[in-house]
Amino acid sequence: MRNLIDILDFSVEEIDELIAVANDIIDDPEKYRDVCHGKILGTLFFEPSTRTRLSFTSAMMSLGGQVLGFDNAASSSTSKGETVQDTVRMVSAYTDIIAMRHPKEGAPIAASRVATVPIINAGDGGHFHPTQTMTDLITIKRKFGRLDNLTVGICGDLKYGRTVHSLIAAMSRYENVKFVLIAPDELALPDYVKDEFLAKDTSSYVEIKSLEEAIPSLDILYMTRVQEERFHDKAQYEKLKDSYILNLSKLKFAKPTLSILHPLPRVNEINVDVDDDPRAHYFEQAANGRYIRMAIILKLLGTKGIEDRRNDGLEDDTLECRNPHCLTLTERGIKKLFKDGKCIYCDQTAHKK
């Protein structure tokens, strides 16, 4: 079986295939109505979600399957002290595939090491969100007919934005993609994302603080909210929460072909006066999430016989992960594994004890 933990788990060719299947589902949904009859999707959402959880539910039901699960940690045995890995072991016995969201980075990797069914990462802390990225990619492909030769502006919370990290990882593999990273210093893109994905010949990037300065050159503007739930210091959140607000006046100098995207939910970073602008594609983007998740479910259910348990990494008693958002700091009994000097769960650089 295969898992989807990180968007790089899919090759560029597989991404193209998934987009093609999703487009076929959009064109002929009846053809797919019962292809998952008798299959069960487990939705393990340890933190709140609207679009992702409901689109997964809608996706599986639209394929003729069934869904069981929970929508917050308080309604699971986690509230009694059960570990993520024990929960996943149990749910594997009741389902054919699992989609999980967790506030701690690396939780889906921990799950994949013990699950007996495919694991889909529906978001792990500020780390990755590959199915949102697939939603972004199909929306871009449907608008532009391509995923290369684009200038992509990403604005807002680039530090904790898991959708941002996954989108950069995916689009950095396409030729001549230029990223314009728009953020205050406090929310700048982490170095580990730059080092891994932007140090390539296929892509380039600039970092600026002015949204108005960036807009005229952009093909895509990917807005994100400043995420209150990722901040330990609420005073800093209050300081940064209104860093960027997109309104119609700021779009005066934008290209007529600009595509405005947002993973949602929004707070106030996109004014409602933008919603009726023909360049606003974020609600269509959300709708596309259902179809691409149908394609992902079909692909992963058809990968029996493939071993993908994230068994790489070695235990090293001289190293430790100090990322406060990493699952290894709170999960009992988890093997703390490192590869190339990094924690395999959260990709952060390990430190000597």
Nearest to 211 by CA among 270, 160, 164, 165: 270
For residues 213 and 208, give the distance between their C-alpha atoms in angstroms, rounded to a whole number. Answer: 8
Each of the 353 residues of the chain gets a pLDDT tens digit; together they read 789 999 999 999 999 999 999 999 999 999 999 999 999 999 999 988 888 999 999 999 999 999 999 987 666 666 677 899 999 999 999 999 999 999 999 999 999 999 999 999 999 987 889 999 999 999 999 999 999 999 999 999 898 888 899 999 999 999 999 999 998 888 899 888 898 899 877 789 999 999 999 999 999 999 998 765 554 556 665 655 567 889 999 999 999 999 999 999 888 899 999 999 999 999 999 999 999 999 999 999 986 545 555 667 888 889 999 999 999 999 998 999 999 999 999 989 999 98
Listed in sequence order, the DSSP H helices in 28-76 are 51-62
Flag whether 73 is in a domain.
no
For residues 264 and 261, give the distance between their C-alpha atoms in angstroms, rounded to a whole number. Answer: 9
Same domain, 210 and 334: no
Same domain, 138 and 239: yes
Same domain, 200 and 252: yes
Residue 339: its pLDDT value, please?
A: 92
Provide the number of structural domains found in the chain: 2
Which stretches of 195-277 are assigned E, i.e. beta strand?
203-208, 220-223, 259-261
Residue 329: its pLDDT value, please?
A: 93
Alpha-carbon torsion 289, 295, 296, 298, what sign?
positive
Look at residues 285, 306, 326 and tell me which one is the last residue of a structural domain. Answer: 285
Residue 78: its pLDDT value, please?
A: 67
Same domain, 231 and 149: yes
Same domain, 339 and 225: no
3-state secondary structure 112-171: HCCCCCCEEEEEECCCCCHHHHHHHHHHHHHHHCCCCCEEEEEECCCCCCHHHHHHHHHH
Flag whether 122 is in a domain.
no
Look at residues 245, 270, 285 and tell me which one is the last residue of a structural domain. Answer: 285
Residue 138: its pLDDT value, please?
A: 98
Same domain, 138 and 281: yes
Q: What CATH number does the domain containing 145 carry?
A: 3.40.50.1370
Residue 268: its pLDDT value, please?
A: 87
Q: Please, what is the Cα angle at 177 between 136 and 125, to 5 degrees?
A: 45
Same domain, 174 and 227: yes
Residue 307: its pLDDT value, please?
A: 57
Determine whether 5 is exposed, middle or buried from the number of CB atoms within 10 Å of its CB (0-12, 13-18, 19+): buried
For residues 200 and 342, give the distance between their C-alpha atoms in angstroms, rounded to a whole number. Answer: 20
Residue 95: its pLDDT value, please?
A: 97
Cβ 40 vs Cβ 65: under 8 Å: yes
Residue 77: its pLDDT value, please?
A: 67
Residue 232: its pLDDT value, please?
A: 54
The single-letter DSSP state of residue 196 is I
Same domain, 241 and 173: yes
Domain of 163, in residue numbers: 130-285
Same domain, 328 and 200: no
Nearest to 49 by CA among 10, 87, 101: 101
Q: Please, what is the Cα angle at 157 between 153 and 158, to 5 degrees?
A: 65
3-state secondary structure 218-238: CCEEEECCCCHHHCCCHHHHH
Cβ 128 vs Cβ 5: under 8 Å: yes
